Amino acid sequence: MTDNGSAFLPDRRRVLLGGLAAGAAALTLTVPDLARAAEAGGGRTAADDLQIIIGRLQERFLAQGDEVRVANGIFLARTSEALSYAESLRPDGSWSDVDYTDTTSSANGKVWSPYRALYRMIAMAHAYRDPDADGHGRPELIEALNRSLLHWDKTGPTCENWWETEIGTSMAMGRVSIFVGDELDPEAREVTYTHNEGRRDPVGANGSWRTENYLYEVVAKRAADAVHQGYVTMSETVAVDDSGEVNEAVQVDASFWAHGAQLYSEGYGMVLFTIVAAWADVARGTSFDFSSEDIDALAFYILDGTRWLIRGELGMMYLGYRPPNTIDGITSYAADFLEPLDRMARADGARSAEYARLADNIRGKTRKSGVTGHKYFWRSEFSSHQRAGYGIFTRLNSPRMKGSEYRSTFRPEVGNEIAWNASGATSIQVTNREYGDLVPAFDWSHYPGVTAPYAKVTEQSSPDNAGSFTGGVSDGRYGASVFSLDRYGTTGRKSYFHFDDEMVALGAGIASTSEHAVHTTVNQGAARSNASVGGRAVRPGTDAAATDASWAYHDEIGYVFPQGGPLKVSHRKQTGSWLDRDPVERDAFTLYFDHGTAPDGAQYAYIVLPGATPGEVRRYAARPAVRILRNDERAQAVHHPRLRLTMVTCYEAGSVDLGGGRTLQVDEPALVILDESGRSAVASVANPDEPGLTVSVALTARGRTRRADFALGSGADLGRTVTRTLR
């Protein structure tokens, strides 16, 4: 008996680590001679090792370029303007354009005015140490820093958001102390310590920020014992939580939760990875280096976890509601991972090629991310299906999970962009530019894979899905997901089945009390010139045109409709904007089922063929490789004869006719993958919402019945797949 965590690491020990602030581009400066000596080891004192760490920290921040960035991706100062900051400083140590009494939160895109002073202090500290800066070694910068720090201490700026005053301010003070602490007057140097509230905190991303700020101070003070203690705490910030409770931590499936039971492997999880990787990198080869167990565990978090969410881009379309960052010349929602991946390629030599492959994928050098197979994150309700030629990501949401939280200024005229992002939203990626070339003009009521009333959501807080039978099953190579839709007066049974060359999507029992028409969106992406249905071009300007075609093609993705349906297609311009940005216009291609207003028992079926040619799609439509066995409110099932693979979603106990006198029976609701490609029939089984359930599976064929009982998990293992041979 085995369970499927889809782990590739030979040793998944649960000890992890943490480190430095969310950052930008990879290091480009030459490593000092002392740092090179660290690679060889031998004969150095702890003081030497701390100087190596300080040098590497300085390199890291200088390598990020002229713009000084600390929090929320914004920059408010430039290293090249450091001398002008010193010149404009008033005698009392203040700047005339900084409101030191401002308390505005910077959490959702606004700016806390005192940040301007902090960023200028950092810029002056950077310039003093940067041999290429005009201010390199200039004493007036140190004099200006002394005055500006004392003024900060005198005025004591504060903010309505705790993060700015506790973490943001501490990050700035810590960086100043790392760069010029030994040059400041004693009173000013003490200000950098007094206003650095860093402390050892082992909990999640905020814990890693606090611990990082603690490390800035104790490294600047050359307090070796305290630095060792800080590194121990950093290891705890990403320790796997196997309690099954709701904690901000790395989960047992290698996903990351923050702000409750909420998938945050991007965002806070990216911050955590960046911090961890930075401290791992700056300590490599020194007496403060992470242990091999720590490095193994970090690899588990990233390579067995986050990597499965990425294929060039992050497979989470809702991120398009805000602009992506540009890092190392790459504008992408995945670009923030580049620096920590480059760092881990140095810190984890045994797996450097794997980190490098993922970084190359994000940089657009390759289309694939280095993983092949199917991983279902049973804790976070996220499905990743990866092949060399494509990736498909599906985000689900049950009552056990939060879909996501709104992290921007709500605009009623735009509506809630993220309301439907976890309701079976399915990102289909071949070129990895399918959606990035469309945002910010994306139609947020037409998430691919989602069944929903076609209407703008006008509430900033939207209800989570009430359908508890929502989850997935995976044998490591193939997988299926189920989404029991129950939101906004709309219900339905939805399944997604993944094979080598295709994904089959089925929907049944779709009903709604909404006053708006209900749509199931097959896909929405940036329009290309090759859009066609049934082999006929879809001309620009086409808007909601009905079609009875059995297949369609767009970009490098094919679609087959084995049972027809009320299909509509659009190839039209869409307009949208990001917050505080001018509106833009983009050409969009959208393909969807229109179930009409107040449907009752509506269905759909479609097959996605990523990376296929139009000719291959046309031939597939004439003779599909997958047979749909059943699609109703009790069960949905498909069979792939060539692979000898059957996938079934059973919403209740019962049996499914497999054809040819063969029957599959379960005595509890379950998702089942039946693999008959070998000498024995093997079943992979999961139930997402009944803890500690035992499911009996029986296969009857030619008068013989083979069966097995599957003892499923609870707590942290609720929803995890169990695989057994039927006997």
CB 113 within 8 A of CB 79: no
What three-state secondary structure class fits 715?
Answer: helix
CA distance 12 to 272: 19
Return the pLDDT at 38.
54
User: Which residue type sits at 30?
Assistant: T
pLDDT tens per residue across span 613-642: 999 999 999 999 999 999 999 999 999 999
CA distance 699 to 30: 64
pLDDT above 70: residue 10: no
107 pLDDT band, cuts 50/70/90, is confident
Highest mean pLDDT among 40-44, 404-408, 681-685: 681-685
> Which tokens go with 356?
């490098």
Return the pLDDT at 43.
72
pLDDT tens per residue across span 365-381: 999 999 999 999 999 99
pLDDT above 70: residue 208: yes
Query: What are the CA-CA distances from residue 171 to residues 159, 277, 515 (Å)?
Result: 15, 17, 51
Average pLDDT, rounded, for the chain:
93
pTM, entire model: 0.92
Return the pLDDT at 499.
98
> Which tokens go with 358?
């993922």
CA distance 10 to 25: 31
543 pLDDT band, cuts 50/70/90, is very high
State which fold the 374-725 domain adopts: Beta-galactosidase; Chain A, domain 5 (2.70.98)
pLDDT tens per residue across span 21-39: 223 223 333 334 554 555 5
Average pLDDT, stretch 667-688? 97
CB 472 within 8 A of CB 392: no
Burial degree of 220 (CB within 10 A; 0-12, 13-18, 19+): buried
464 pLDDT band, cuts 50/70/90, is confident
Domain boundaries defined on the chain? 47-287, 374-725
CATH 1.20.1250.20 fits 47-287, yes or no: no
pLDDT tens per residue across span 564-587: 999 999 999 999 999 989 999 999
pLDDT tens per residue across span 70-88: 876 678 999 999 999 999 9
Between residues 462 and 151, which one has the greater pLDDT?
A: 151
pLDDT above 90: residue 262: yes
Average pLDDT, stretch 503-528? 98
What's the full length of the chain, in residues?
727
Percentage, residues of the chain above pLDDT 70: 94
CA distance 451 to 186: 64
Q: Residue 230 phi/psi, 5° resolution?
A: -60, -40
Kind of pairing, strands 517-526 and 451-453?
antiparallel
Burial degree of 623 (CB within 10 A; 0-12, 13-18, 19+): exposed
